[in-house]
Every structure is written in C-alpha cells, then in structure tokens.
Structure 1
Amino acid sequence: MAANNLTVKFLNGSAGYQEYVKEVAKEWEKAAGVRFHFVGSDKPATVRIGFDYVPGMMSSWSLTGTDHMQVYGQQSEATMHFAQWRRAGDAQKRSDVLRAFGQVLGLELEFRHPMFHPAWITNADGSVNETAIREYWENELANYIAWDELKKIVLDPLEDQAFFIHKTEYYDQWSVMNWPFYEMIARNIPPIEFDEDYITELSENDKSFAQFLYGESFGGTPPDNLFVPLIEFECTGSSTRFSVTTTKNLGVRWDGEVSKEYTAYDLPDYTTSEHTFMINKTFDETKTRKIVIGEVLDYGEAKPDYSYALTRFDFKGANNAGAIDIKPVNHALSYIRIIGGSDFISREFNFTGYEYLKELYLVRIGDSKVILDNCSNLETFATSKGIWKPGESYSEPTDPIDIGDYESVFAWPDYPESLYSLSDTGGLTILNCNNLKQISLENTQLKNFNFGDLPALEYVYLSSFSGYIVGGSDPYGKLLLDAVNTLPAKEAAAKGSIVLRGIAFRLYPSENETGNAIGPITPVRPNPVYDQIPIDRVIYNAINQNLPAKNWNVVWESGFYHPIIYLNSTNHNN
C-alpha cells in the first residue's frame, strides 16, 4: 500500500502550510520505497491532515500505520494533526512533519523502545508514575483519545507486543521519531525550546529501518499507471539540454523506464495556461542512458490514450542523443526543434501521421533521412534554427523579419549553419502535407527536391555549396533550375518568395603575437560563409523568367557583403 496507494488530503490549512508539508514528506520518499499521493479535499484519503483542527489540542501527532484504516470511513476527522504552527519556528514544523509521516509508515515513537533512557516517568520508589504520564498526555491531546487507548501508545512498553512488530536493536537518540523534549519531561525538567533542540533530519537508522520495511527509494518517480511517456531518447555523455512547454505536470526519468533518478516539473501556481521549463542536466557518470519525458497524472486519474500536455519540445543539446522517439500519443505537440552537431549520428526521422505538428526544425542532422507524411497541420519545415525572411524591400535583405521560432532571438543570418543537414544519402520525403507554407533547407547537400506536391507553399529558403541544389551540376545551376521549376504556381494575390544563398569555405589569416596577419592558412575546422557561387548565365536568366511567370519573387542573396550571386559562364557554352 505504501508503494502506490497511500493517499493524503488536507482538511484545512493555508496553501503555504500545505506545500510545506508536501515538501518535507518527500524526505521519507527519498529514504525508502514509499509514495504519498496528495489528493483533493473532496476525495477520500487514508491520511487526513488538519491544522489546529481539534480545538484546544496543543500537540502535533499522527495515528500510526494501519490505525488510519480503522477510521477510513470518518473522512471529516483528522488522522494527522499539526498544532500551534503560528507560533512555531521552521525547525519545530519540520520535526513535526517528519515524525508524523514516520508514524504513517508504522514507525512508533522512539521513547517506546525498550532500551529508552531515562525510561519511563517514575515515582521515588521507581514505580511508573502513571498519573503524571496520563496528566501530561491528556493535556497535550486535549482528551482527544480515551486514556485506555492512549495508554497503549505512550505507556505500555512495546516488548509486550514484540511478536507483532519489527524493531531496531537500540534506542536511537537522533531519530526523528523522538517526541520533542520527552527526556526532559521524564526527568521532570521544564523544557526551554530552541530551534536547534529539534531533530530536523532523518537519522541513518531512520533511513535504514524504513528501507528494511519498504525497500529502496523510488527516487520520486511516479508509478507506471500515473506516468505517460511522451518523448524518449538515448544520451551518451555527461550532460543534456532541452526545453519543454507544457500545460500539465511533467516528469523526467533520467536513466530508463524504472529510473531511480527522477525530476518532477510541476506547473507553478501562477500558471494559467502553459509554462516552459528550461532543462540543463549534468550527470555524475558518463555513460549511455535512456531519458524519458512524461506527463504525470493525478492519483486515481485513468491513463489516457492521448496526451495534451506537451505543446513544444526544443532539443538544443541533441548532439550526443540517439534513438529519439517522439510518441504519437502527443496530441498537442505543435513545435519540435532538434539541434544536432558534429557527433550527431544520422538516423531516420519518420513523422507520419503527426497531424498536430505545425513547426518542425531539424538542424545539423547530417545524412539523416526525413519522412513527413500526412502531417495535415504542418506549416513550417526547416533545417535552420528558425525561418528568416528579407524585409519588405528585397534590396535590403539584411533587414529581416524573424518568424517561426518562438524565442524570437535569431536575426537574419550572416553565416550559415556550420554543419549540413540532409543529403541524397538519406533524403527528404514530404507527402500529403497540403498545408506546408514554408521550407528552409539551410546548408543542405540535397541535389534535388520536388516542390510540386506542396500546393500551399509560399516561402522557400535554399542555401548550399556549389555542388548541391544551389549552383550544382553541369552547367552550373542546372540542379537549382530543375528544383525551382517544380514550385507550384501562385495566385496573383498570394505571391510566393524564394531566397537563394550560396555557401563556400573561407580561409582566415593567422596572426603573430602582435596581432598582425602573417598569411592565409586553412582553418583547423573549415569555416563556411555565405559567398558567391557560379551560376550559368542561361540558367540564371531562365530562373528569373520562369518564376515570375508562376508568381514567385526571387531573391539572389549570398551574404552580408555579397548582395547578388556571381554569374559565371567559364567552361560553358552560352
């Protein structure tokens, strides 16, 4: 029961008190295989918490273990009580919560241990002073529990019931299960309270005994019936970085489906719609691990066939990621961006039937194969970090309108992506995506692409080295001509635009110690820049004639310092 079905609710109390109790109770979840499921006040619960709920009661207490079940039908009565918190310091409150939830798990108050010292409150002749003990506890609990029952808890030694229970060998003076100041009370010494006098952390014996009873901690991860996997990927390395935008609580299992390492991402109280979590995770050990992002359900909520939690997934640190699996269960995920790198291993991305996807960015993915099929709401596909458009005047292409990326941080690019995306090795297939309006193929090694099956297309951005789709083949530019000739004709009121940019490697001068250039050298890592590339004059003229006839504007833009593409007829007959 403690693993999956231990429900808790609040009968009263401020939001601050309630959150404090939830947070401190997690210490037991970290220590052993237990879960506390907090439910709404209108739901039945095994544990019911009240704050100053019993008039006149001065003590904080809890029923022990299965005693909660004996009063399960009395849902308006508290089984755990916190008193006088308005006057209590943080140490006292933390001590109260740890002790009370220990009792929920069946741990007895530590002074009941047979080896408790200084033992029971006694008379001068050594006999138990039952009158003094009864007076103390009845005063503390405001006669809430009849003495015949209370006596079993605070007076009758556990050794009389030893065959019913597990027990530690020795009394633990550092256990959170110690009743505050009971040793002073036993010696008839009036307690003077200071925060440092309270036990505010689980002792090692508390943790080991709880593990003995309930097994190892689940690490905070919810049970499978309350966790809906949304995205999975493998991560090799010491860190990962991504962001998720969600309308519901999420959790991340950092090392497999039953990971003991887990982080909860609960929506802030002030959130009224969706919230973005920026997640940077560093691992103590470098290895390959499976990371699972999932929706966390409320206790008692049926596991759904579809999830409407995730709306955006921005995987900025995908360079060391593998086996990326974005589940079809996502029915609100409209934005996906995956940014690879030099260590990114090419793979197949198959987005078939992702009808809720609107924007897809796959950047620095090398020879990966991409399939987009039946994505009926897809409007944008790009191998750039965002979609850039020239300003209203095409004579000033460096004055951009930045769209397509929800962070709105990317200006008109002066430099291409340093690593290519897509080639004929893997290829790009787009089928039945009739709402696709924008395509950006940045630093692509594709040599051809057919735009003819994209009737809604209105903006295209192409950049490549001269051997590929922009400027490739014999004569130069034949590949480009073949591709742009497939662009769908546009209506007069809905003119299309295509931006064409060449890429080349540029050599930078090295410098001596004074900072003076000493001559060009090949960079250790090639540096691609937007630059002039050769286009056959006949091809160039054909493109400029054919596209306006289809109602498409053409922008020949090769970079910040090169406003027009270079026309070259060398070694060609024109």
Structure 2
Amino acid sequence: MEKFKKVLFGLVISASVVACSKSADPQIDTAQTDFETLEIQRADIPPGFENARVCRDLDPINGTDPRGAILRPTKWPNGSVITVRLYGGTEKVRARVREYASEWSQYANITFRFVQSGTAQIRVTFVEGAGSYSALGTAALSRLPNQETMNFGWFNDRTSEAELRATTLHEFGHVLGMIHEQQHPEAAIPWNVEAAYAYFGGPPNGWSKAQVDVNIFQRYATSQTQFSAYDPRSIMHYPISSELTTNGFWVGWNNQLSETDKQFIAQAYPKN
C-alpha cells in the first residue's frame, strides 16, 4: 500500500502554530544577524520571487534538536464538522475565504461550517501586518477561546484572486494538519545554504539563521509523518527561486491543490 504523504497529522511541532510573514518580525533583532556579509544580491533573484511571503514555525527555536522531538496528534476525527468564525475582513474577502476553504471538502470527509456567533473551533482574524498563520490541526483547540487560531495579514479588496485562493487553501491545509512540503522527509532540495540565509534573512521575512535552519533546512523524519512521494506542486510548498539551489532546481507559485494534495487528503479523511 502506497505510503501517504505530506507530513500531516501524526505530526505536530511543539507549539503547532505556523505563520506567513509579510514583513519582518518585530521580535527579531536583525542587527544581531550577519546577512550583510553574504555575497548574494537581491537583484539576482528572478522576477516574481523578490518578495515571497512564506510561512514559518512560531515555536521557540532550538536548532540543535531534531525536528519533531515533541509531537502530538493533530488529525481531526474523520467526518468532523469544524466550526469557523471570521472576525473582520471585507465582505469580498470573507466570501473568498469561505469559498476557497471549502475546496478541501470536495476531497476530504471534513466540513468547514462557518458561523456568525459563538466560540468557533477555528477563529480567523484579518490583522494587517501581522502575517498569515494557522494553528496545526486540533492544536487549535488548545488555544484560549479569546485567541485567534488563524490570521490573514494581507487580505483586502485589492488582493489578487490567485493569492486569495493560494493563501486560503494553504492555511486551511494547516487546519487539516498538513505542514510545509519542503520539509517532507524525502524532499532533498539541493539548497544553496548561504544564498538561502541571505534571501530569507532579507525583506519581507527577516529571519535569523536559526529560523532558516528550522523552517527551511530541517526535514521531518519518516517515523513522525504520514506521507506519499514528495510533491513540488503541493499547495503546502514554498516557492523556491533557482538562485537558492545548487543545480537550478526551482518551485513556482502554487495556487491550487495538486493531484497529490487531493489524493492524500482523500485517504487521510476518507469518504464512505
């Protein structure tokens, strides 16, 4: 039976919140990094990759521990109806979030039920400048009732349909327990390490070397995850410029569910 995929469910990072940063994290003291000593120039990055907004683990960083040293299940019971409440956002944006999130239910035996009152399991805010992030799977249930479990930090009426769809699908993939595809146990991406440090250390992400290690280079073990073949077309994959690898390997902007995404989530949450 084919082993199935995507660093999902069996897995949980210790704090289980993943975030996409549009701008530099105010908690990071970039003055303490040494990115300015690296040779790569931002102009070397091809058009379309200059300002990649990507997701990072918000857990405390310990670059010496193996990934997933502290794990807990994040998979919802099959057939779950997960309540979602939206706080803020324009009517257009809210409608798109409802529409695109529901795409997962075409393949998974999971229903997202959007409510307008009460304390929902998934609480979505639209705080500008705070990045986009989501709790992983059932880890959302451990957050306080007055805390958000997801944020879309750059959604407004000018946001393109492609980005609304891609980011919504990505974050609701995290809700189902999925982590980033570039950390798939079998990804083996040939990173140009120094170039990656410089790129992700620059705007709009502003990561330290330790954060790059945790979010980019460290992969999950096969024993931690339920996975299939590595899938560069996954909605859960970062875009990767060829300038960040040693052999020209690159991954474009994925803005829809790949065939592997669909097959995997259908096996993870099978319908009758």
TM range (shorter): 0.5 to 0.7
The answer for the alignment partner of 1:104 in structure 2 is: 175
| Superposition deviation, residue 213 in structure 1 | 0.9
- The alpha-carbon distance between structure 1 residues 81 and 27, as it changes in their structure 2 partners (threshold 3 A), is same
| Distance of 1:147 and 1:81 partners within structure 2 | 25
The answer for the alignment partner of 1:47 in structure 2 is: 122
In the alignment, which of 186, 191, 201 is matched to residue 244 of structure 2? 186
| Superposition deviation, residue 29 in structure 1 | 0.3
Residues 137 and 177, structure 2, Cα contact 8 Å, conserved in 1: yes
| Distance of 1:206 and 1:50 partners within structure 2 | 26
Q: How does 1:110-125 map to 2 (within 5 A)?
A: 110-116=181-187, 118-123=189-194
Q: How does 1:201-280 map to 2 (within 5 A)?
A: 201-216=256-271
Specify the code of the residue in structure 2 equivalent to 1:186: L
Specify the code of the residue in structure 2 equivalent to 1:46: Q
Q: Counterpart of 2:84 in 1: which secondary structure? A: strand
1:288-322 alpha-carbon deviations (Å, 9 max, x no partner) = xxxxxxxxxxxxxxxxxxxxxxxxxxxxxxxxxxx
Residues 25 and 101, structure 1, Cα contact 8 Å, conserved in 2: yes
1:91 matches 2:162 = yes
| Superposition deviation, residue 75 in structure 1 | 2.5
Q: Counterpart of 1:28 in 2: which secondary structure? A: helix
TM-score (ref. length: structure 1): 0.30
| Superposition deviation, residue 164 in structure 1 | 2.6
- The alpha-carbon distance between structure 1 residues 147 and 17, as it changes in their structure 2 partners (threshold 3 A), is farther
Q: Counterpart of 2:125 in 1: which secondary structure? A: strand
What is the RMSD of the two structures over their aligned residues, measured on CA atoms? Answer: 3.2
| Distance of 1:149 and 1:123 partners within structure 2 | 14
Q: Which has the higher helix share?
A: 2
Of structures 1 and 2, the one scoring higher in RCO (CA 8 A, sep 6+) is: 2
Q: Which runs of 5+ in 1 are unaligned?
A: 189-196, 218-574
1:319-344 alpha-carbon deviations (Å, 9 max, x no partner) = xxxxxxxxxxxxxxxxxxxxxxxxxx
| Distance of 2:253 and 2:232 partners within structure 1 | 12
- The alpha-carbon distance between structure 1 residues 172 and 88, as it changes in their structure 2 partners (threshold 3 A), is same
Q: Which runs of 5+ in 2 are unaligned?
A: 1-75, 247-251
The answer for the alignment partner of 2:218 in structure 1 is: 156
- The alpha-carbon distance between structure 1 residues 136 and 67, as it changes in their structure 2 partners (threshold 3 A), is farther
Q: Counterpart of 2:189 in 1: which secondary structure? A: coil
Residues 135 and 149, structure 2, Cα contact 8 Å, conserved in 1: no
1:177 matches 2:236 = yes
1:483-507 alpha-carbon deviations (Å, 9 max, x no partner) = xxxxxxxxxxxxxxxxxxxxxxxxx
TM-score (ref. length: structure 2): 0.59
Q: Which has the higher strand share?
A: 1
Q: How does 1:271-310 map to 2 (within 5 A)?
A: none
Residues 63 and 103, structure 1, Cα contact 8 Å, conserved in 2: yes
Q: Counterpart of 2:257 in 1: which secondary structure? A: coil
| Superposition deviation, residue 205 in structure 1 | 0.8
Specify the code of the residue in structure 1 equivalent to 2:256: E
| Distance of 1:9 and 1:149 partners within structure 2 | 31
Q: What percentage of residue pairs aligned between the two structures are identical?
A: 25
1:241-265 alpha-carbon deviations (Å, 9 max, x no partner) = xxxxxxxxxxxxxxxxxxxxxxxxx
1:26 matches 2:102 = yes
Residues 92 and 157, structure 2, Cα contact 8 Å, conserved in 1: no
The answer for the alignment partner of 1:77 in structure 2 is: 148
1:384-422 alpha-carbon deviations (Å, 9 max, x no partner) = xxxxxxxxxxxxxxxxxxxxxxxxxxxxxxxxxxxxxxx
Count of residues in correspondence between the two structures:
191
The answer for the alignment partner of 1:135 in structure 2 is: 201
Specify the code of the residue in structure 1 equivalent to 2:102: K
